[in-house]
Structure 1
Amino acid sequence: MNQSEHTTDPDYPLSPVPETARKSMWSMSFVLLGFTFFSATMWAGGSVGAAFDFSTTLWILLIGNLLLGTYAAILGYIAARSGLNTALMSRYAFGEIGSKLSDFILGFTQIGWYAWGTATMALLLVKMTGLPEGLTLPLMVVFGFGFCISAFVGYRGLDLLSRFAVPAMLILIAVSLGIATQDAGGLSGLGAIVPSSELSVAAAITLVFGTFVSGGTQATNWTRFAKSGKAAVIATLAAFFIGNGLMTLVGAFGALVYQQADIVDILVAQGLATLGVLMLFLNLWTTQDNTVYNFAVAGCNLLRTERRRTITVIGAAIGTLLAVLGMYEWLIPFLILLGTFIPPVGGVIMANYFVTWRGRYADLGSTTLPAFNVVGLIAYALGSLVAYTSNWIAPVVGVLVAAASYALIALVVSAVKERRATELSNL
């Protein structure tokens, strides 16, 4: 793809990332791992751990995270090959104006996570330190704007924070898992714990996959910086299969041993309250900055502006407002929304790239794209509808139906056009 290296923003919100700006696989891995180390992911693991025996829980977490990692890795591969993020890929999949639909959906879900994380930080800090409850709202404002600082800087800011935070969190998690295993009486003790709630296997896998599928769909914001498709795939799998898998495993351990899913509550139960506060802060900051960064990238495409830093601050303001309004209480319906309407976006992008563009996009600057890609929009609608009504693993169903629908409709439309062209040439 021909690409211009001239841009007003070194994070290239509206253009392909040039070869000269590509990052190492280690750099991307740290950023993506910091992104996937998130409290809500542990909550999902805890819900699974409370409903199944230990061995079944491990299989569910393995399958759910493998599906999530594969989904994110395919999008990561496309991003590395094209240098484009999800918002820009959506222009090919849904059209110049049609892509604004995915911009809104992706941006809204990311800022929803930002609001939830901001509220969580303030509420738990007050609870764990005994601060006056009247400080909760002011703390939401402080954290709401404070968390966006590294995102305001850009990829470099995210990278620097993650290089410090990720190793620290891994050490804390390893210590906590060791204590939990000992408290449970070893692996045999874990295997003897009786589940305390009920959940179907399909619902459990949906929970694991759907909790972070919005992040997986927008991981392209970093994998587009990869030097090769292979590097992008490895970094993405490291984050969304191994990293996210570790977070869900921690939540499952906590639910089994302490009836707590969040790593912070687990550390408090283990008598490590001070480390719990540190873990909470690092855990949320390395995800918060990534989510508001995602919002900014989607916002730049929606508004066709390169003022990424301005959009970042606006996103932080919206997220802070939602936190103050009570986003903390909306988590479960929010997760259902994510698991239903986000995955079909990725399914359409995949099919569009491999079926229509045969693995190589035309140059974005010199290609005239339609205002609406009707095929992509129809495929997205079908994928979302089937996912919403499915009793199976809704996110997986959404991806497969959207991708298959796009491929089938695109092939039929292509065949009809060829036939008409042949008929006209014979006249």
Structure 2
Amino acid sequence: MSEIQDSADQDYPLSPVPTHARKSMWSMSFVLLGFTFFSATMWAGGSVGAAFEFSTLLWILLIGNLLLGAYAAGLGFIAARSGLNTALMSRYAFGDVGSKLSDFILGFTQIGWYAWGTATMALLLVKMTGLPESLTLPLMVLFGFGFCISAFIGYRGLDLLSRVAVPAMIILIAVSLGIAGSDAGGLAGLSAIDPSAEMSVAAAITLVFGTFVSGGTQATNWTRFAKSGKAAVIATLAAFFVGNGLMTLVGAFGALVYQQADIVDIMVAQGLATLGVLMLFLNLWTTQDNTVYNFAVAGCNLLRTERRRTVTVVGAAIGTLLAVLGMYDWLIPFLILLGTFIPPLGGVIMANYLVTWRGRYGDLATTALPAFNWVGLSAYAIGSLVAYTSNWVAPLVGVLTAALAYAVLALLINPVRERRAALSSRA
């Protein structure tokens, strides 16, 4: 009984979420929206906004965010049906030991985002308030451990923070967009602005899709709490299509009108510096706590421990150290890494669920899983290689290639395994 209670207190890091612990669609929507309201997403939108005419820009943002939303929703549906997060689903797709590769990749990328957000908060606060630069490192330590408080509490802490922060951020963004539209001279003024940079459409969609694909791959940490697959899909689309789309649109508006991509810099240019500081704090906190929570869930599966809260604090410490060491300057290569090597994980997981398990996993506690699922690991390697060498939308190519490779390999190899097992049993 005590083991069951401990697992509940730790948010079920190594077991399916039971029916009585499921959450409402509104609860998940708030948590996921808080996750996708992120400064780096606005940076991506700003980079795209400076390179295209307004009408073309809208189509790129629509396509990129729709692809991201569909990808995250597919994983979210599986999570709701099974009650499992990405780390646990990886055991079926990559094997009991092979899943540790997925844990490491996902955990590393999430703690990298945590480090970047922690450094960003400290650096911009010093810049905007005129505080002595000597306070930058102490502030990184303060925010590095402070941001993890709601994640330490668990889903309940993330939910409570998001219910306050998300409506406040939506109001602030609406005010800022209204002022930006007026300063640009309305729709006619926006349409008349000429691009100031060059970028291909494929590269632009890759940037929009790839910036938050790591988060989309791990959104299962919350959609596993959904009461139904439909609720998970709606909540995920609300966050990754609508919410992430809004963030990229804000960044694009800023690049077009003010030559700035970040909402904080935009608000300073609009004379809303105080609101800008508040927006920055809410924007980062609601993403930071989700990010370190993701790290903790992946870490629990990697180490096979139920102590999610302990892993959360360890993750915050690692993220803080990376922030102090200069993670702020590594954003661009980090985004390229995310867009190439993470999406194939999701492609393999979805194909494994549909092809091998036919839409219903076996009981995690009793199903005998191989140490290494070489079909899943091979499909992931193929998807990553093709994505890395692709000149088209690399994240999308990675997902589709990995899923197709898994389906082909499984259909070829699984019947052979079944025949061998049948012959062995007869003998």
Same fold (TM over 0.5): yes
Q: Counterparts of 1:133 and 1:341 in 2: how far apart (Å)?
A: 36
Q: How does 1:33-52 map to 2 (within 5 A)?
A: 33-52=33-52
**Shift in Å at residue 371 of structure 1?**
0.4
* Secondary structure, counterpart of 1:16 in structure 2: coil
Q: How does 1:292-331 map to 2 (within 5 A)?
A: 292-331=292-331
* Secondary structure, counterpart of 2:305 in structure 1: coil
Alignment of 1:286 with 2:286, yes or no, is yes
Q: How does 1:196-345 map to 2 (within 5 A)?
A: 196-345=196-345
Q: How does 1:18-417 map to 2 (within 5 A)?
A: 18-417=18-417
**Shift in Å at residue 8 of structure 1?**
3.1
CA change 1:418–1:18 in 2 (3 A) is: closer
- Which letter does structure 2 place at the counterpart of 1:324? V
**Shift in Å at residue 422 of structure 1?**
7.8
* Secondary structure, counterpart of 2:378 in structure 1: helix
Q: Counterparts of 2:423 and 2:370 in 1: how far apart (Å)?
A: 25
**Shift in Å at residue 420 of structure 1?**
5.2
Work out whether residues 29 and 236 of structure 1, in 8 Å CA contact, stay in contact via their aligned partners in 2.
Answer: yes
**Shift in Å at residue 426 of structure 1?**
11
- After superposition, give the CA deviation of every residue in 1:205-255 in whole Å (9 maximum; x if it has no partner): 000000000000000000000000000000000000000000000000000
Q: Counterparts of 2:24 and 2:57 in 1: how far apart (Å)?
A: 34
**Shift in Å at residue 52 of structure 1?**
0.2
* Secondary structure, counterpart of 1:190 in structure 2: helix
Unaligned regions of 5+ residues in structure 2, if any? none
CA change 1:319–1:426 in 2 (3 A) is: closer
- After superposition, give the CA deviation of every residue in 1:66-122 in whole Å (9 maximum; x if it has no partner): 000000000000000000000000000000100000000000000000000000000
Task: Give the alignment's TM-score, normalised by structure 1.
Answer: 0.97
Q: Counterparts of 1:69 and 1:84 in 2: how far apart (Å)?
A: 19
**Shift in Å at residue 368 of structure 1?**
1.3
RMSD over aligned Cα, in angstroms?
1.4
Work out whether residues 5 and 18 of structure 1, in 8 Å CA contact, stay in contact via their aligned partners in 2.
Answer: no
Work out whether residues 77 and 232 of structure 1, in 8 Å CA contact, stay in contact via their aligned partners in 2.
Answer: yes
Work out whether residues 7 and 13 of structure 2, in 8 Å CA contact, stay in contact via their aligned partners in 1.
Answer: no
Count of aligned residue pairs for this structure pair: 424
Q: Counterparts of 2:151 and 2:422 in 1: how far apart (Å)?
A: 53
Q: Counterparts of 2:342 and 2:215 in 1: how far apart (Å)?
A: 10
Task: Give the alignment's TM-score, normalised by structure 2.
Answer: 0.97
- After superposition, give the CA deviation of every residue in 1:27-52 in whole Å (9 maximum; x if it has no partner): 00000000000000000000000000
Work out whether residues 88 and 301 of structure 1, in 8 Å CA contact, stay in contact via their aligned partners in 2.
Answer: yes
Q: Counterparts of 2:426 and 2:309 in 1: how far apart (Å)?
A: 57
- Which letter does structure 1 place at the counterpart of 2:138? P
Counterpart in the other structure of 2:7? 8
Unaligned regions of 5+ residues in structure 1, if any? none
